[in-house]
Structure 1
Amino acid sequence: MSGPEWKLSDDLKTVTITFPTSPPVQFVLDAAAVDDLLRNLGELRAHMTPPVPADYQIGQKVAAIPDPRWYTEPEMLSGDSLIHVRDPRFGWLHYLLPRASAQQLAQYLTRQAEDEPCPPTRPN
């Protein structure tokens, strides 16, 4: 049995997922339902095994989002850095970096912005 069939409607407002069961089962989801599905699948994936690797293997080919919108603000209680990044596939993603990690990220980004292109660096 092959996997489900995914189809975006001509008006770009719904996705139809057809599962190859007998009889076939079909779901039609609007953008809000897709957002809910992604959020819930993400939460469930976070608890599955094997886990997402803790470290990233630098140099992999990725489908990067060019120049995404982003915002940063201090977290109200601790003053750590809240980073908000817009991914057109998954919505706004939010990350909380402790001050030391935020400083390290700032150093890496500053170095990359000022230096000639060079091999990627890995944090400690």
Structure 2
Amino acid sequence: MYQRMSVEPLQESGTAALRFVIGNSAALLDANEIDKLILQLGQIRAHMLPAPPPQPEASTSYPLEIDPCWHVDRTPIFEGVVLLLRHAGYGWLAFSLPPPSLSRLDMALTAQPSMQFAMSSLVN
């Protein structure tokens, strides 16, 4: 039998923490443990079906980072670049972009903006 889970942010000895409660059991996680949990959940989710949609859905609200930190790295392992973007909640996310993707990204970034995707769907 499944039990409800609740998540509660709190301060533990002056440090931000998160308390998970399931039934009569509880766990207290600090920032490092939350980072590890997010990473593990992302890895698990990557293998679950249905997969996330290949295109953003206009009816969905996406977390929006304004002017995120970013870094571009080149690696001898493959052609192209690794683009790292920093999200305040998820941390650094790395994306491998081969040359054809880089060309499409360059064209998309330099093209005139279209109203195809409503900005309101990006904001929580």
Q: Secondary structure at the match of 1:36?
A: helix
1:81 — aligned with what? 81
Greater relative contact order structure (CA < 8 Å, 6+ sep): 2
Do structure 1's residue 92 and structure 2's residue 95 form an aligned pair? no
Matches of 1:54 and 1:16 in 2, distance apart?
33
CA contact (8 A) 1:71 1:83 kept: yes
* Contact residue 19 and residue 28 of structure 2 kept, 8 A: yes
Q: Which residue of 2 aligns with 1:17?
A: 20
Q: Write out aligned runs for 1:49-68 (5 A).
A: 49-58=49-58, 60-68=60-68
* Partner Cα distance (2:103, 2:59) in 1: 23
What's the secondary structure of 1:65's corresponding residue? coil
Once residues 93 and 47 of structure 1 are traced to their aligned partners in structure 2, the CA distance between those partners, rounded to angstroms, is 17
RMSD: 2.1
TM-score by length of 2: 0.79
2:115 to 94, 116, 119: 119
Structure 2: runs of 5+ lacking an equivalent: 118-124
Provide the aligned length of Structure 1 versus Structure 2. 114
CA distance in 1, matches of 2:59, 2:6: 31
The Cα offsets for residues 52-90 of structure 1, whole Å up to 9 and x where unpaired, read as 122323574423111100111222232311100001111
Give TM-score, length-normalised by structure 1: 0.79
Alpha-carbon separation, structure 2, partners of 1:18 and 1:74: 43
Identity of aligned residues (%): 25
Gap regions ≥5 residues in structure 1: none
